[in-house]
Amino acid sequence: MKVIHRDIKPDNILVGDSGQIVLGDFGVTCEMIECGDRYRYRKTLTGSPCFMAPEIFENEYGYNEKVDVWALGITALFLAYGKTPYGHFPPIKIMLELMKNDAPDLNSFNDKTHEWSDSFHNFVSKCLRKDQIKRYSSKKLLAHKFLKQAKTQQYIYDNLVTSKKIDHIS
């Protein structure tokens, strides 16, 4: 069964007390099957504008689960720079900028103070392809070199949870 979260963003990534990382807020999630009928695409305009894929705004042919891959790429940019492309614009301007410009990447912020690995550049580029057909699937991304270098749950616990670098929700 294919499911689309439709609101992947840093606000919905949660870190548990033992260092586990989970995705939360499934309020706008949808299945690609409804009443026994399989859908190839959805057409509902929903999500957080800065993290929405261009095909959601274009809405000509609809979108599929690859909108979550786009949102993951924008989330990666946010985690790298602390902001999103076009994040300072109102929603309608974000939509227009996404549709008329090339896909954002790690060079979009013209920030020369950070150097990112080639595998991170490549990972983001696979997520942020404007053409959803050319965008990597989540299954293909799971095999990507960048994700193979991910830290363990114990590392997250030792370096974030116990060091008080993140706020705990009471």
Sorted by sequence, the CB contacts under 8 Å of residue 140 that are 6+ apart come out as 126
Q: Which long-range contacts does 155-162 make (Cβ < 8 Å, 24+ apart)?
A: 155/19, 156/15, 156/19, 156/20, 156/21, 157/18, 157/19, 158/19, 160/15, 160/19, 161/15, 161/17, 161/18, 161/19
Note if 7 is an active site residue.
yes
Q: What whole-number distance in Å separates Cα of residue 71 and Cα of residue 48?
A: 9
Cβ-Cβ contacts under 8 Å for 54 (sequence gap 6 or more)? 70, 98, 99, 103, 130
Token output for 109:
């912020």
Out of 7, 17, 105, 167, pick the active-site residue.
7
Name the token pair of 30.
Answer: 């949808």
Give the catalytic positions in this structure: 7
